[in-house]
Amino acid sequence: MFKAQKSYFIVDAGNTSIKVALVENQNIGTVQRVQTWDEVLKLVKDRHVVLASVLGSEVHSLLQLNTASVYQITSASRLPFKSAYTSMDTVGVDRLCNVAAAKRHFLDNNTLIIDIGTCVKFDLLSSEGTYLGGSIAPGIELRYRSLNDYTNKLPLLDFKGAVPLIGQNTQSSIHSGIINGMSNEIQGMISRYEIDFDQLQVFITGGDASYFDFPQKSNIFANKNLTLEGIVEIYKIHAL
- 61/180 Cα distance (integer angstroms): 41
Distance CA 114, CA 122 (A): 5
| C-alpha to C-alpha distance for 205 and 121, rounded to whole angstroms | 10
**Number of continuous H segments (helices) and E segments (strands) in the chain:** 7, 11
Using an 8 Å Cβ cutoff, are 139 and 14 in contact?
no
Q: Is 208 a catalytic residue?
A: no
Q: Compute CA distances 18 → 102, 119, 179, 207, 236, whole Å.
A: 21, 15, 24, 11, 22
Given 12, 38, 46, 94, the catalytic residue: 94
**Pair 2, 71: CB distance under 8 Å:** yes
Give the HSE-up count for residue 46: Cα atoms under 13 Å, Cβ half-sphere: 0
Sign of CA pseudo-dihedral 38, 208, 70, 32? positive
Q: Give CA separation, 194 vs 125, 197, 221, in Å.
A: 13, 5, 15
Taken in order 37, 74, 55, 224, the sign of the CA dihedral is negative
Rounded Cα distance, 135 and 120, in Å: 8
Question: Active-site residues: which are they?
Answer: 94
